[in-house]
Amino acid sequence: MTLTQAAIRPVARPSRTSAGQAELYGAVKAMAVRFEFKPGERINEVELARRLNVSRTPLREVLNQLMVEGFLTRSLNRGFIARLLDARQIHSLYEYRAVLEAGIVRAACERATDEELASLRAFVERSRDEPEDSDAARLLELDEAFHLALARYSRNDEFVRALESVNARIHFVRWIDMQQGRRSHTQGEHLRIVQALERRDVDALPALISAHIGRRLDQITDVIRTGYSTIYMRDQAGPATTAPANTTTAGEIE
């Protein structure tokens, strides 16, 4: 399920409950994930609190949490600042994801049941039937569901949490990447990964996942150039160019 514009409409003023704080966190994180805060932009806490109909104290707690998670930075004189869309940082996140998922597929190869792998193959085959002209948000949703299923099959909750975290930080770039025609490559690579899992070919899997995930710095730079154009043009273009937030969970493949 992708996050709709409704998810960032002003929310009812929450009490200081975990549910209210979680709702506020989800709304502000969604804005950060899809760069509604423009890169390098100072976050106006008063304006944001008014927009979301919350007080500044719980909002500041959320902003602090998002800073810890890498979505914002903080300056002594300017307060909270939206993260930059930086090619080298994104490249580092891709490298981290490749190493992380190499461990995930090794563990999944050893621990996933035959029934789970059959379910994963069925999911990949259904995904291949998705029309080529499907919305990039839908294609990215399917891709993230595949990778989070692998993490779930590893039987390691830390793998799942780590993958969800890095996915959120590169979600916008991957949405742009998917718009630029990664569809056919992605689906074929998913199938080869599943086939290696079915063979229990633990030695082949790291190379397959690395080839599937890896991006060169120049490739990322090109995607980011498109990303900047999207960010600064979408106010005129309307909601069709608004990236979805990353809301995929590890339990979407039955």
Question: Both tokens of residue 210?
Answer: 């690395």
Helices (H), 129-237: 136-153, 157-179, 183-198, 205-213, 217-237
DSSP assigned state of 240: G
Place of tokens 């998810």: 7
State residue 77's pLDDT score: 86
Alpha carbons 203 and 120: distance in angstroms, whole number: 20
- How far apart CA 254 and CA 247 sit, in angstroms, is 17
C-beta neighbour count of 103 within 10 angstroms: 16
pLDDT at 129: 77
Is there a contact between 90 and 220 (Cβ–Cβ < 8 Å)? yes
Domain ranges of the chain: 35-82, 87-227
pLDDT per position as a tens digit, 41-91: 999 999 999 999 999 999 999 999 999 999 999 998 889 999 999 999 999
pTM for the model: 0.81
Predicted confidence at residue 137, as pLDDT, reads 86
Rounded Cα gap, residues 141 and 171, in angstroms = 10
CA dist 35 and 234 (Å) reads 11
Q: Give one word for 11, left, alpha or beta, with left for phi > 0 and alpha for psi -120 to 50.
A: beta
Task: Judge: domain 35-82, CATH 1.10.10.10.
Answer: yes
Amino acid of residue 220: I
Helices vs. strands in the chain: H and E counts, helices first: 10, 2
- What pLDDT shows up at residue 4? 33
Residue 180 pLDDT: 73
Beta-strand pair 72-75/79-82: antiparallel
3-state secondary structure of 30: helix
**Contact between 194 and 125 (Cβ < 8 Å):** no
CATH no. for 87-227:
1.20.120.530
Residue among 81, 230, 94 nearest 170 (CA): 94
CB 100 within 8 A of CB 166: yes
DSSP secondary structure code for residue 6 in this structure: G
Which positions of the chain have pLDDT values less than 70?
1-17, 132-134, 181-184, 235-245, 247-252, 254
Q: Residue 196's CB: how many other CB atoms inside 10 A?
A: 20
pLDDT of amino acid 187: 79
Hey, CA dihedral for 140, 141, 144, 150, is it positive or negative? negative
pLDDT at 76: 87
Q: In this predicted structure, what is the pLDDT of residue 188?
A: 86
